[in-house]
Structure formats: C-alpha cells, structure tokens
Amino acid sequence: MMRRELFEPEHEAFRDTVRTFVTKELVPHVPEWEEAGQVSRQAWRAAGAQGLLGFAVDDEFGGGGVDDFRFNVVFNEELVAAGVSGFGSPLHNDIVAPYLMNLANDEQKRRWLPGFCSGELISAIAMTEPGAGSDLQGIRTTAIRDGDEYVLNGQKTFISNGIMSDLVIVVARTDPDAGHQGISLLVVERDMPGFERGRNLDKIGQKSQDTAELFFHDVRVPARNLLGEEGQGFVYLMQNLPQERLSIGVAAIASATKILELTKDYCRERTAFGRPIGKFQNTRFELAEMATEVEIGQVFADRCVRDHVRGELSVEHAAMAKWWLSELNKRVIDRCLQLHGGFGYMTEYPVAKAYLDSRVQTIYGGTTEIMKEIIGRSMGF
C-alpha cells in the first residue's frame, strides 16, 4: 500500500467506524438488494443513526457540522473496498447535499435537512433527459410560473435513487426562451400529484442502485420549493459539478486499487505449468504497469481532494480527475480480469462484479469526451 498524506488521525478513526458499519449493516444484505434492485430504507436510517449522512450539514439540522470532504472520501473508499456498489450515499452526501446546504433558505433547511441527515428523506437530482445528457443546455423539461406554483412538465431518465427518493432536485426551464439563463432548480417531493416514476431500469452493473425514469405531468410545485434564485440553475450546476466529478474519480481510483490488490493475491496463488502465474514475466510486467499507474492516479486524486478542501479545485482539474481516473479504473479492471483467466468471467469473483459496476463511471457525471472538451476549452481552444 502506498503512503498517503491526505488524512489526519480523526479521518482514520472515522474510517474504523465506517468499516464496522459497512461490514455489519450493508455487506450481509448486498445479495438480496441486488436481487430486489434497490437497498432497504432500514439501511438508510441506520446510516443516518450512525452519523454517516450529511457530514457537512449544520448540527442544528442533525448533520455532522464538519465541512471536510475527506470524510466523504473515507466513506466512499470503504464502500468500494467492501464491494457495496448500490448504496446511494455518495449521491446523497457528495452531490445533493451542497445544493441543499448552499441554496436552501432557512425554511427549506428546517423542512428538509433533518430528514436528509436521519435517512428518512432519500434524495436525488434529475438532470438527464432522453434527449439531453452531458449537454445540460439541451434540457426540455419546463416549469412555468402560475401564481404561487410552478407547473412542471417533462421527463427525466437514468436518475439514481429514482425509485426510493423522497426529494428530487429537478432541473427545468422556467423561461424556455432564455437559453441557459432560463434554467432553475425545483425540489419535487414524493407523492406530489402528477409526479410518476417509471420502471427501475435494468442495468448491466450496480444492480442494487435504483435507477429510474421520472415523469412530470402538470405537477404543481409550490414556489417555496424553488431552490436558490429563478434563472440561476445553470450557474448552480456548474458550481457543484466539480465535487460530483471528484467523487466519481475517488471511487474509481479506490476500485482500481482494490482490484489490483486482489489480482496480485490471485497471481501468487494461481499456478500454471507448475509455478504461480505471478512468476511469469508477462504477468509481472502487467502488474508493474498497473501498480505504477494506480499510484500516480492516487497521488493526483489526493491532490485534487486537498485542493477541494481548501476551496481551490478548478473545473478543469475536476474534469481531469473524473475522466482519467475512471478510464484508468476501466483499463485496470479489464487487465486484471484477463489475468484471472476464465475465473475472471465468473460473477462470483469480485473482479467480474467490479468490471460491470465500474463501466458507467466514464459516462455519468459527464462523459470522458465532455471532460476532455472542458479541459480543451480551458486551454484556450
């Protein structure tokens, strides 16, 4: 294991707490959740009771009151290490929480944050549509003001926590003629008339993460559920996407690290032609290359986390972390599966599950291609 200088003693103490929780409360239930296509609400409430939801939320609302993304990193790394790919806490803590903390007014915070932190209110954010993915300016969902309400119409797809969510931040056009300046964020609550959930989508991986289509048919959303200012939604999205992308990068490098370690053990134990396959030069070279790349990736990931904690993470560095670490993870897992031979193709082996679970990382949160476009534009091209 490489030496890391990212964490303080309090983070490592927190890691012990998280590891115990994940081992006791999550790991035993993964098979049943994979079969059901979603985790249990009890798991969310247990995470809330353990203080694992809303680290950065003020303690007056039931949160941890500590705005330090390194705690998020620890939780995410332990989920990956345990092979728990479907529990939606990274979405809840890393992606949704900043919107509620930074944009919600006092009344909204009192209404939503206690349940958010206790696990009683599961959250989601609905950006992607059938015709608009990484290009957020292409969204067509509309929310037209009518007195003290917005009338919401449209469709979203590939929404993580889509089935279980109680609060959904919906990206919609409040002024269809104003381009990106006409986009706003509305919080839609469970059971609002006209809000319907489609099927729990059948994915190739992350089977226990409920991912759904969402439909809005003349949903009357109270104006008091507007998050932030009308017309500023696109700006808010751009401000919060770097943390989302860093979160994906953190999970990606944690996955590559885990699978590489498992593969090294396998290569010590598996024999061919009378000796461990790790004794063959080709195997050693493959492992050496991956070990080098993973260590380089971890150093960059940790640097980005440190920058983010200081409030200095740039949009382009977040994009670099997202695309390069997710592509690295994909590449490492593919090579590790090859070293496992036929056993790597069996779903009972962690490398096979990781192969399926990790494939989406180069897609969600902005595709690799879009990340490169962001970086290229930052270079003046």
Give me the active site residues, please. 244
| DSSP code per residue over 246-265 | HHHHHHHHHHHHHHHHHHHH
Whole-angstrom distance, CA of residue 328 vs CA of residue 123: 29
Structure tokens at 46: 């247990």
> Vertex 272, ends 270 and 275: CA angle to 5°?
80
- Contact assessment for residue 373 and residue 366, using Cβ atoms and an 8 Å cutoff: no
In angstroms, how far is CA 68 from the centroid of its own chain?
17
Q: State whether residue 291 is helix, strand or coil.
A: helix
Structure tokens at 207: 């089977």
- Contact assessment for residue 191 and residue 177, using Cβ atoms and an 8 Å cutoff: no
Whole-angstrom distance, CA of residue 20 vs CA of residue 40: 18
The radius of gyration computed from the CA coordinates of the chain, to the nearest angstrom, equals: 21
Q: State whether residue 172 is helix, strand or coil.
A: strand
Whole-angstrom distance, CA of residue 267 vs CA of residue 285: 12
- Contact assessment for residue 332 and residue 288, using Cβ atoms and an 8 Å cutoff: no
Whole-angstrom distance, CA of residue 184 vs CA of residue 207: 31
Q: Rounded to the nearest 5°, which phi and psi values hold at 131?
A: -110, 10
